[in-house]
A and B are shown apart, each in its own frame.
Chain A
Amino acid sequence: MVSDEVRFGERTGKVEDRPIGDLHPDYPLPDPDHPVVKPFWDGCRERRLLVQRDRETGAYHWPPKPGYWKHGRLEWVDAKGTGTVYTYVVGQEPFLPAFKSMLPHVMVVVELDEGPRLVGHMVECAPEAMRIGMRVEVVFKPLTERVTLPVWRAARAG
């Protein structure tokens, strides 16, 4: 199922891209400069969850499309940062070394209240407490100076 054709970009190694905390050296970081997704990663760094919306139809788009899509019809807008668990899995061994300290690792597909379904993982939630349909809210988890990951926790009342 997994492509062998993927080529990984060179690690930037920029001074400002140092890992935060005890990030595993092989953690698979996203490229925050990829032109299509850069606004999303820039938003996360500012603790904003941005998704694309069609200026004409109001429809939300995910995954992101290039800025020139249909001559610039999409705009990045703030999502509320709340949604429901559409589905989830709980990863056990064998797993990527970078995630071993997080096992059992609860990965989710969150359906945002705006509609798009985003892949994420849970924090502060035991696997036994997970339910499909449960309400969740975004939390921002800095991995490096340049990459902050939006992750999810059970929504707090109010």
Chain B
Amino acid sequence: MKRIDEDLFARIRDQVAIVGIGHLPFSKDIGRPISDTAIEAIQMALDDAGLEAEDVDGMSMFEMEHTHEVTIARGLGVENLQWWDKITYGGGASCATIMHAAAAIATGLADVVVCHRARNRGSKTARPWAQERELVTDDKALHVPWGLIRPVDVIGMWAHRHMHQYGTTREQLGNVAIAARKHANRNPYAMMRDRPLDMPTYLAGRVIGYPLTLYDCCLETDGALACVVTSVERARDLKQKPVFVHSVAQASGPNPVHLANYNTPDMQTTAVPCAEQLWARSELKPKDMDCAQIYDAFTPLVILGLEDYGFCERGEGGPFTDGGRIEVGGELPLLTSGGGLSEAYTHGFNLILEAVRQVRGTSTAQVEDCKNVLVTGASGVATSAMVVRGE
């Protein structure tokens, strides 16, 4: 018998809010360990919220590098952490930090939870795939020994199949890269703020892993980002307009593999079951979204995400991007900060911060009257997603 507590999701819905955000400037070499940058980013988010470290009693981190909660709590000046949580899966865990925080708050395990992602991979030596050697002992042993290790190739498999099966074109992938870049060009924090991108330049990008080329790939970034989550009652007394957590979901999907997840029916991604739960727990539908921050380590993931999260039918994600539809001013602006492709690649945590800014009305590529925003983790890995909304 399934005992998922759908009432809990009703208790989360619009009853928990993101009240503070913060991040350090994005960099190719931040020169500090993440156990240090994480603390500063969280402090910035607390400042933004108008809260003190002493108010914090919960911590939910997107973490794969073994920094310790206690180090961060001590560095912040948290008096006593009562609840904490670490969530892994690169690209997949971003919204899950908020989901777990929201559940902790809704069940009374914590009152003020800080969520964060800090990650250093801007420099060439920091790229995990370049350090793959010797004995591969986990799931990766069934793809790495053939050379399938760079994320661009792992995702390229999905992209190439999609192009073959549905006729998705290079230009449609380019639409995603160009929309993200146009938005980044308006964002002073974006690593690509001064670099315009047009279709001829996109199409001339050098091949990294055919069929994907340079501009299909995200940036490499040292970054630290955080947000503060608390109950709506508490949020009412704070500095910022609360951004409500409306719906949350996590999913591994069937027969999952950590990365090269190709043995699902018709290569269905992990986002399909995630989206199903997300919308089932929501009073809103895809058509109600004013913009979407769809995880974009690579351009094809955005096209898959459009399909998986129900903005169009399977196979129609490519044409959906045509005609400026995904740019600010279009029907469904995507990646309005520039995303992982053009703002910073931080395993998608910057997408959460941008969703908050859109609902607050403070984005540098602001969508008019923006109220409802979808944020997603990566399609393909064990993932998560959420819908946030304003009053």
Q: Do A and B bind each other?
A: yes
Closest B residue to A87 by beta carbon equals B161
- The segment out of B45-53, B105-113, B152-160 that lies at the interface is B152-160
Interface assignment of A102: CB less than 8 Å from any CB of chain B: yes
Whether the pair B142, A37 counts as a contact (CB closer than 8 A) is yes
For window 361-383 of B, CB contacts with A under 8 Å fall at 378, 381
A95-B134 Cα distance, complex, nearest whole Å: 16
Of B91, B147, B160, B263, which is within 8 A of A121 by CB?
A: B147
Whether the pair A26, B64 counts as a contact (CB closer than 8 A) is no
Residues of chain B lying within 8 A (CB to CB) of residue A120 = 146
Of B66, B88, B137, B160, which is within 8 A of A3 by CB?
A: B88
Interface assignment of B207: CB less than 8 Å from any CB of chain A: yes
Residues of chain B lying within 8 A (CB to CB) of residue A26 = 133-134
Whether the pair A132, B210 counts as a contact (CB closer than 8 A) is no
Residues of chain B lying within 8 A (CB to CB) of residue A92 = 206-210
| A 1-26 to B, binary, CB cutoff 8 A, 1 in contact else 0 | 11111111111100000000000001
Of A1, A90, A95, A149, which is within 8 A of B145 by CB?
A: A149
Candidate in A89, A104, A107, A151 with the most chain B CB atoms within 10 angstroms: A89
Of B147, B212, B263, which is within 8 A of A62 by CB?
A: B263
Interface assignment of B143: CB less than 8 Å from any CB of chain A: yes
A1-B89 Cα distance, complex, nearest whole Å: 7
Closest B residue to A26 by beta carbon equals B133
Interface assignment of A67: CB less than 8 Å from any CB of chain B: no
Given known A109-B262, A116-B263, A117-B263, contact A91–B133 (CB-CB < 8 A): no
- Count A interface residues, CB 8 Å: 52
Of A2, A9, A87, which is within 8 A of B160 by CB?
A: A87
Closest A residue to B218 by beta carbon equals A1
Whether the pair A9, B211 counts as a contact (CB closer than 8 A) is no
Closest B residue to A121 by beta carbon equals B146
Residues of chain B lying within 8 A (CB to CB) of residue A87 = 157-158, 160-161, 164, 262
Interface assignment of A66: CB less than 8 Å from any CB of chain B: no
A28-B160 Cα distance, complex, nearest whole Å: 25
Whether the pair A109, B157 counts as a contact (CB closer than 8 A) is yes
Whether the pair B141, A132 counts as a contact (CB closer than 8 A) is no
| B 119-158 to A, binary, CB cutoff 8 A, 1 in contact else 0 | 0000000011110111111111111111111110111111
Given known A28-B144, A96-B149, A119-B142, contact A63–B263 (CB-CB < 8 A): yes
Interface assignment of A155: CB less than 8 Å from any CB of chain B: no
Residues of chain B lying within 8 A (CB to CB) of residue A143 = 145
A147-B156 Cα distance, complex, nearest whole Å: 27
Determine how close the nearest CB of chain A comes to the CB of B314; give it in whole angstroms.
16
Whether the pair A30, B147 counts as a contact (CB closer than 8 A) is no
Residues of chain B lying within 8 A (CB to CB) of residue A99 = 147
A98-B153 Cα distance, complex, nearest whole Å: 16
Whether the pair B91, A1 counts as a contact (CB closer than 8 A) is yes
- Count B interface residues, CB 8 Å: 57
Determine how close the nearest CB of chain A comes to the CB of B136; give it in whole angstroms.
5
| A 118-158 to B, binary, CB cutoff 8 A, 1 in contact else 0 | 11110000010000110000000001000101010000000
Q: Using a Cβ cutoff of 8 Å, how many contacts connect chains A and B?
A: 162
Given known A89-B160, A91-B153, A96-B149, contact A5–B88 (CB-CB < 8 A): yes
Determine how close the nearest CB of chain B comes to the CB of A10; give it in whole angstroms.
7
A109-B206 Cα distance, complex, nearest whole Å: 23
A27-B378 Cα distance, complex, nearest whole Å: 28
Interface assignment of A105: CB less than 8 Å from any CB of chain B: yes
Given known A28-B144, A119-B148, A149-B146, contact A10–B135 (CB-CB < 8 A): yes
Residues of chain A lying within 8 A (CB to CB) of residue B237 = none
Interface assignment of B259: CB less than 8 Å from any CB of chain A: yes
Of A5, A63, A96, A102, which is within 8 A of B142 by CB?
A: A63
Whether the pair B161, A132 counts as a contact (CB closer than 8 A) is yes
Closest A residue to B132 by beta carbon equals A28
A113-B139 Cα distance, complex, nearest whole Å: 23
Interface assignment of B65: CB less than 8 Å from any CB of chain A: yes
Whether the pair B157, A31 counts as a contact (CB closer than 8 A) is no
Interface assignment of B253: CB less than 8 Å from any CB of chain A: no
Given known A6-B138, A6-B140, A89-B153, contact A119–B260 (CB-CB < 8 A): yes
15 A-B residue contacts at CB 8 Å?
A1-B151, A3-B64, A4-B128, A6-B140, A27-B133, A29-B135, A30-B135, A31-B137, A63-B139, A92-B206, A96-B147, A107-B153, A109-B262, A118-B142, A120-B146
Q: Which residues of B does A touch, CB under 8 Å?
A: 64-66, 88-91, 127-130, 132-151, 153-158, 160-161, 164, 206-212, 255, 257-260, 262-263, 297, 378, 381
Q: Besides A2-B128, A91-B209, A107-B146, 15 other CB < 8 A contacts? A: A1-B259, A6-B140, A27-B133, A28-B144, A30-B135, A30-B145, A87-B160, A89-B156, A90-B207, A92-B208, A96-B149, A105-B147, A116-B263, A132-B160, A149-B145
Those 5 A-B pairs whose CB atoms lie nearest each other, nearest first: A1-B151, A89-B156, A90-B210, A30-B141, A87-B161
